[in-house]
């Protein structure tokens, strides 16, 4: 069994990633740690519990993490995923926050990794605040991880939140800097441009969401808003946007579950710009090895789309 911990800011694509992990036969989710991001933390917690409810997996522990970025800079929390982060389709029977674990997410993350040394794959699909605080509290954490998969950053300086910034790395640039600097375990990064260039054809979405299952009905409901936006002129500006459906977080999760999914990648040292007027939060790829960093991250370039589609179809069965 692959042991996963998911660090999320449940939004719609985080929800898709969680459901894909829950449908994978050889995966055990040890816990889900929640972080501010797409929507305020309270909504992230509620949304995460809603996803587990529709999958009948409320047995999976959910932990409350950081509600603000390290420096609490202005957040760019657009409403792509809706005000509540899950498509603004509230569920009157949504599970309550009393189901949350008492332990703080950062402490829980450290405890779970220590209890499973060398076996846990951490999948981070939110701003990296929880992970940055965790490594400050427990400097040996990274060496106890089997691997770290991140959805975040960029490889061609393109942005989706600022001109040069991807949301997760802009929302907490200092945390992203700390994580890319201190997590020296095998690290795999699904950047914004990678997810755009490997987006799913819109022709996939119809049959996918029209499956006659409760999970598909839930997914159809929560994705309506973001899919409408993604197809609107306003989002056409994005790289290859409008040419397909971009479930950003799900690429990182799918790669963590099946490492044959990524058919092309490159290894390069990376860091994050903290000061740039236009480039704060931008991921810097050090091809010239100026940073003299021993640790190199694996930057995903291409995905086996047919395999990815199958995993997504399975996630709603």
Give the interface size with ligand RIB as a residue count (CB under 6 A): 16
Instruction: Kindly tell me which residue out of 16, 33, 38, 154 binds ligand RIB, with binding defined by CB under 6 A.
Output: 38
Pairing of strands 283-285, 270-272: antiparallel
Using the rule CB under 5 A, is 166 a contact of Ca ion?
Answer: no
Q: Which does 166 bind (CB under 5 to 8 A by kind): Ca ion, ligand RIB, none?
A: ligand RIB
Alpha helices in 183-274 (DSSP H): 192-197, 202-209, 214-230, 248-257
Could you give the dihedral angle defined by the CA atoms of residues 190, 21, 160 and 235, in that order, rounded to the nearest 10 degrees? 130
Q: Choose one: 164-172, 203-211, 222-230, 294-302; the region binding ligand RIB (CB under 6 A).
A: 164-172
Count how many residues are written for the chain: 317
89-97, 162-170, 259-267, 284-292 -> range binding ligand RIB (CB under 6 A): 162-170
Tell me the torsion sign for CA atoms 110, 114, 118, 121: negative
**The binder of ligand RIB chosen from 51, 248, 297, 303 (CB under 6 A):** 248
Task: Answer positive or negative: Cα dihedral of 240, 245, 250, 255.
Answer: negative
- Residue 160 contact, options Ca ion, ligand RIB, none, Cβ 5-8 Å cut-off depending on partner type: ligand RIB
Asked if residue 256 lies in contact with residue 300, where contact means CB atoms within 8 angstroms, the answer is no
Is 9 marked active-site?
yes
91 class by beta-carbon count within 10 Å (0-12 exposed, 13-18 middle, 19+ buried): middle
Q: Is 160 in the site for ligand RIB (CB under 6 A)?
A: yes
193 lines the binding site for ligand RIB (CB under 6 A): no
Q: In the complex, which residues of this chain contact ligand RIB (CB under 6 A)? A: 9, 11, 13-14, 37-38, 125-126, 151, 160, 166-168, 192, 248-249
Catalytic (active-site) positions:
9
């Amino acid at each position: 069994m692959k042991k996963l911990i998911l660090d999320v800011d449940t939004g719609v694509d985080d929800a898709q990633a969680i459901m894909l992990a829950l449908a994978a036969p050889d995966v055990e989710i040890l816990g889900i740690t929640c972080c501010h991001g797409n929507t305020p933390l309270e909504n992230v917690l509620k949304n995460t519990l809603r996803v587990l409810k529709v999958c009948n997996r409320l047995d999976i522990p959910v932990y409350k993490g950081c509600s603000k970025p390290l420096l609490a800079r202005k957040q760019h929390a657009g409403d792509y995923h809706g005000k509540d982060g899950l498509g603004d389709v509230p569920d009157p029977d949504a599970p309550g926050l009393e189901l949350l674990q008492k332990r703080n997410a950062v402490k829980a993350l450290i405890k779970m990794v220590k209890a499973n040394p060398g076996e846990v794959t951490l999948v981070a699909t939110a701003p990296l605040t929880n992970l940055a605080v965790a490594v400050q509290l427990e400097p040996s954490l990274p060496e106890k991880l089997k691997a770290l998969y991140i959805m975040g950053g960029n490889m061609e300086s393109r942005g989706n939140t600022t001109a040069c910034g991807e949301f997760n790395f802009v929302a907490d640039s200092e945390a992203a800097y700390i994580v890319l600097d201190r997590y020296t375990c095998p690290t795999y990064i699904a950047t914004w441009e990678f997810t755009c260039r490997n987006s799913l054809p819109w022709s996939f979405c119809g049959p996918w969401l029209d499956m006659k299952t409760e999970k598909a009905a839930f997914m159809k409901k929560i994705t309506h808003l973001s899919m409408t936006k993604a197809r609107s002129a306003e989002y056409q500006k994005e790289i290859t946007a409008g040419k397909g459906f971009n479930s950003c977080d799900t690429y990182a999760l799918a790669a963590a579950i099946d490492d044959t999914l990524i058919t092309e990648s490159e290894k390069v040292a990376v860091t994050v710009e903290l000061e740039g007027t236009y480039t704060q939060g931008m991921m810097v790829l050090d091809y010239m090895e100026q940073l003299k960093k021993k640790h190199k991250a694996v930057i995903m370039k291409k995905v086996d789309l047919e395999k990815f589609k199958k995993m997504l179809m399975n996630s709603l069965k």
